Amino acid sequence: MKTMPLNQIDLLDAEEAVENMERSENVEVAFQHGDDALSEYLKSLGRFNLLSAEEERQLARQIKQGSELARKRLIQSNLRLVVNIAKRFASKGLPLQDLIQEGNLGLIKAVEKFDPEKGFRFSTYATWWIRQAVQRAIQDKGQLIRVPVHMSELATKIARITREYLLLEGRRPTSFEISKELIIEEEKVKRVLASLNEPLSLDSQTVGGVEEFDLASSLADENSPGPEERAVISLCKMDVNTALLKLHPREREVLKLRFGINYERPLSAQEAGKILHISEERVRQLEHKAIKKLRHLNETGSLSELRAYLN
């Protein structure tokens, strides 16, 4: 993989840095040697103002129409978000410069996939993609989890099931219960846990220091849930459940089904409607009403649990 020398990037403005990152799949933008270069890069980001929710939506719509200028502006305005997220993982085995580089690639992917009509802030959506990119970098390059990526992903799912049991049942699940939840052989669950060099803290919020869940991922394509849609609930699932208690029971159940909260996966509006014995359109109405109510509670300061995710 080709690496761009530091002296060709640290003096460029952020717009040119983004262009360099996107030249091809085989070109990697890297920082090399010294905090001065990183400091210069961070200073260069100060020229880009944060966007309002309406500005984000307008840019996203222009991007769908093929506007390259809109695409660059949305990327530039969120480069600081990448830095803020990368800093949280700076002690996990990779230099901060590398984490920022990987996070920027995740940001670019988020810009490509963001749907402005879903009603959430771009930063909420982008956070998952950035974290995903950083997580992959830590797993693949930092080798904090010395097992294949697909196995560490299964370990993360096992951790999720365990957290849900602790939250809902007040106890840890058995390996048999985990295997039933994930529809895999119990022996495979045992092999994954045994393959880890260090004990896996199943009741923690992270696996290998990397958090898994984010509300944003469920916004990609409601009709065909992909891997990103399984990261449905945000950085603190307990906060989300607490916030949902402020909704009407039917609204709460709709959001749980649609976002996969306490379920194996997010459901489409049609699937949720069948479970609740209501029409697909009614599901969408209740979902819209519930999200609108959460936004209102957030704006009035009554929803501190989700303020970080809805702002």
Q: Are 124 and 309 in contact (CB under 8 A)?
A: yes
CA gap 278, 273 in Å, rounded? 5
Domain 2-142: give its CATH architecture: Up-down Bundle (1.20)
CA gap 261, 240 in Å, rounded? 9
CA gap 121, 288 in Å, rounded? 15
SS3 content of the chain, % helix, strand, coil (to 5): 65, 5, 35
CA gap 39, 33 in Å, rounded? 12
Residue 287 has pLDDT above 70, yes or no: yes
Of residues 166 and 144, more confidence is placed in: 166
Range in 125-134, 152-161, 293-302 with the lowest mean pLDDT: 293-302
Enumerate the domain spans of the chain.
2-142, 146-208, 214-311
CA gap 216, 119 in Å, rounded? 11
Highest-confidence range of 58-72, 175-189, 228-242, 284-298, by mean pLDDT? 58-72
pLDDT score, position 133: 87
Give 254-283 pLDDT, tens digit per residue: 888 887 776 767 788 898 899 999 999 999
In the block, residue with structure tokens 């966007």 = 51
Q: Assess whether the region 146-208 and the region 214-311 belong to the same CATH fold.
A: yes
Give 146-158 pLDDT, tens digit per residue: 445 566 678 778 8
Residue 10 has pLDDT above 80, yes or no: no
Q: What is the CATH number of domain 146-208?
A: 1.10.10
Residue 42 has pLDDT above 70, yes or no: yes
Query: What phi, psi does 46 have (nearest 5°)?
Result: -65, -20
pLDDT score, position 279: 93
16 contacts: CB under 8 Å, gap ≥ 6: none
- pLDDT, averaged across the chain: 69
Residue 123 has pLDDT above 70, yes or no: yes
Residue 294 has pLDDT above 60, yes or no: yes
pLDDT score, position 190: 83
The full 3-state SS of 106-147, as one line of letters, equals HHHHHHHHCCHHHCCCHHHHHHHHHHHHHHHHHHHHHCCCCC
Q: Are 117 and 60 in contact (CB under 8 A)?
A: no
pLDDT score, position 304: 54
pLDDT score, position 244: 79
Q: What is the CATH number of domain 214-311?
A: 1.10.10.10
Residue 59 has pLDDT above 90, yes or no: yes
Residue 24 has pLDDT above 50, yes or no: no
Query: Is the pTM for the entire model greater than 0.75?
Result: no
For the chain, what percent of residues have pLDDT higher than 70? Answer: 59
Q: Torsion over CA of 207, 209, 210 and 211, rounded to 10 degrees?
A: 70
For the chain, what percent of residues have pLDDT higher than 90? Answer: 11
For residue 112, give the nearest of 231, 34, 221, 201 by alpha carbon.
Answer: 221
Q: Are 276 and 225 in contact (CB under 8 A)?
A: no
pLDDT score, position 210: 36
* Residue 164 binned pLDDT confidence (cut-offs 50, 70, 90): low
CA gap 31, 100 in Å, rounded? 9
CA gap 180, 182 in Å, rounded? 6
Of residues 135 and 298, more confidence is placed in: 135
Give 209-253 pLDDT, tens digit per residue: 333 333 333 333 333 333 333 333 333 455 566 677 888 889 988
* Residue 63 binned pLDDT confidence (cut-offs 50, 70, 90): very high
pLDDT score, position 302: 58
Q: Are 14 and 79 in contact (CB under 8 A)?
A: yes
